[in-house]
Amino acid sequence: MRTDSALALAARLERADWVGSFDRTRSRVALMREFLRRSALWAGATGSTEWPFFDIAERIDPSARIDDESVKGVAERIGLQQPVVLNTVTWALNFAVLSDTAPVLPDLPSPFEPLVLMFERGGGFGLDGSGHIEVDMAAIARGTVEQARERAPLDLDGAGLDALDAG
């Protein structure tokens, strides 16, 4: 299914800098941590035992699915990434469909916006064999759902993110 929000998000993802660089690592790490926090909130609200990477839309309405053609268009632009990156992109697009079609959603912050901003600021991420999340060359401990839920929210303002990178 294609909706206005899903098409707008697909366009953002297609324009993202998937090659990346190391000059925005600090903000990208902060954005990943904010994604972990928001994902923990949504896991609690949906009763999901999966965390941090899961299809939130499927937990709420399994029919809220982006069409395969839209996913294919974004996947071609993303290039070679770990499978979890394409999965999270697909789940973000599914959530965009859900946000346009669900009558009511929990009053929580948009779960995938920090991840989309992280992609826009310079590429994907990876998972290593020890359970860490790798953003550029930084390894982030996943921690627990409870630890993530207790983190202070990150302001997603571009100037604030730029200030993190300036050091």
**Of all helices (H) and strands (E), which one includes residue 127?**
strand 126-127
Contact (Cβ atoms closer than 8 angstroms) between residue 22 and residue 123:
no
Whole-prediction pTM? 0.96
Write down the pLDDT at residue 155: 97
- Write out the two tokens for 146: 């409870």
Give me the sign of the Cα torsion angle 73, 75, 78, 79.
negative
Write down the pLDDT at residue 131: 87
Domain assignments of the chain as residue spans, ordered by start: 4-166
**Tell me, what DSSP letter sits at residue 51?**
-
Write down the pLDDT at residue 21: 83
Write down the pLDDT at residue 80: 83
Task: Determine the Cα–Cα distance for residues 18 and 53; give it in Å rounded to an integer.
Answer: 19
Contact (Cβ atoms closer than 8 angstroms) between residue 86 and residue 18:
no
- With tokens 């790490």, the residue in question is 29
pLDDT tens track of the chain, all 167 residues? Answer: 999 999 999 999 999 999 888 999 999 999 999 999 999 999 999 999 999 999 999 999 999 999 999 999 999 999 889 999 999 999 999 999 999 999 999 999 999 999 999 999 999 999 998 989 999 999 999 999 999 999 999 999 999 999 999 98
